[in-house]
Structure 1
Amino acid sequence: MCESATDAVHPRFFRKPEHYVRAFKIALIQMSVGPDKAKNVAAAISEIHKAKEKGAQLVALPECFNSPYGTKYFEEYAEEVPSGSTCRALSRAAAEAGVCVVGGTLPERCGHALYNTCTVWDGSGALVATYRKMHLFDIDIPNKITFKESEVLSAGDQITTFDYQGIKIGIGICYDLRFIEMSHLMAKQGCSLLIYPGAFNMTTGPKHWELLARARANDEQLWVALVSPARDTTAGYVAWGHTLLVDPWATVVDQLGEAPGTIMADVDVNLVEEVRSQIPIRVQRRTDIYDTVHKK
């Protein structure tokens, strides 16, 4: 009998061990961000500790949590990873609180290049993952918004995942959310949760923020978290806000509005297995005809 060509299935989904329980409490922090870098970082550290007090085991911050979002700010606020002051503060907070911290994003300087970078720190304060935004936000919507990150930023070239207590988690940043190939590759690598620090604007936010989060959750049958800064109507770039968490059935578990706040929720990986076993698209894809491949 010939074997059919299908996606590789992560070993976790072949058999569910007896007494299998895979769940953790996540905190998604929608915080205000202003021009004072030190104040922004201090606020983020405070929120990490508050989330820990509420039982969070993994805390995620928004895109550009230590600086205003905008091409004119990236050079001024940029720092090296992991030696910069923001990274040192995140490492210390993760260790003191004993939580995993997905450090939103910060403008990273590496030589002459600037990146929009997410760092991930474990409960001992060790750096376990670094992701540089791969798809730069270059758009032009007439009479609405024109923005070109590539004028200042360089693009990353590595898909990034990390393991948290035996659960694989993938990282994307904002505009990356629109590219299904990226999320599919992370799912193929065994991810049960994708986290996107992001700052959609007042044009694309109402149209696509929730839509894309639910689409990625539905397409890949996993959890999706989008973490935005709070809305500041006085800023040069006004973020949509609406931080949200979507489950593998593509149901919005919780969503904030425009103001600062925190989502606290349980992420149950058993639900990933439930959906994938009941709607087994992974073994039904016609990879003899089409496929998504990772070019290393």
Structure 2
Amino acid sequence: MITTAKTYHVPVLLKDSVDGLNIQPGGIYVDVTFGGGGHSREILSRINGNGHLYSFDQDPDAEQNIVANPNFTFVRSNFRYLKNWMQYYGIEKIDGLLADLGVSSHHFDDETRGFSFRFDAPLDMRMNKRSGNTAADIINNYEEENLADIFYLYGELKNSRKLASIICKNRIQKKIETTQDFINVIEPLFKREREKKDLAKVFQALRIEVNHEMSALKEMLKAAVSILKPGGRLSVITYHSLEDRIVKNMMKSGNPEGKIEQDFFGRIETPFKLINSKVIVPTREEQERNPRSRSAKLRIAEKK
């Protein structure tokens, strides 16, 4: 099992996702989710002096894993700015892009960041600790209707309105500042047998809103379409149905909404050709070694 930076993050579907890029030794590649650097190191092992890898991460913690390699450039930025940065580096087209979406094991295990309900910590959840609203800002300041929408859309929680209501009633009495403050408020709404699953959904919904994950993903995928060469590969690992739906739609129809357009002969117009018609999932052995991989799905497509 490959681990990076003292188990900062165990890369998921490492061989399958990098194999999916069909790497050419002299090609230009992008890893938009550097994290612990596991996928990036594997890509670098397959390119030569003419090839280059650009890896994105907005979290300063990831910088401790930067690879000392002349074929490597680290980009401290959200991947939504992919096209801007490629233009900055004078790159018009790339041969492949890899994305390992979701949250790294490092974030869940860091007791100070507020990503996990296992630890009492400030309710933060920002991937980029330098800017933006924290989860506490959202919980304490959003309108009740907006909170309900977040829990319903991003957590797929049926009791989203009750959640929003109890939060708004409690925050009047006392500001909700830590993960434990938050759990104490919402825990009574969950049945004991489903408590962990439902709490995970609530925390997921908040994290997505804090980091604007869905809009960033859509922008990155649209940029990928425009900068991938014909024959270039897109290899994406997803962890929940919301992001997987966007990736699936993009690969099948060329847009995040999945709107199908057909030519005169009724053929679907899409910039991609699917490499794997069925999603690739981790083996049972990988799932046992790395629990984070259990919900992972890999989709691979080639630019036409």
Q: Same fold (TM over 0.5)?
A: no
Q: Which band: TM-score by shorter chain?
A: 0.3 to 0.5
* Structure of higher CA gyration radius: 2
Which one has the bigger helix percentage? Answer: 2
Which one has the bigger strand percentage? Answer: 1
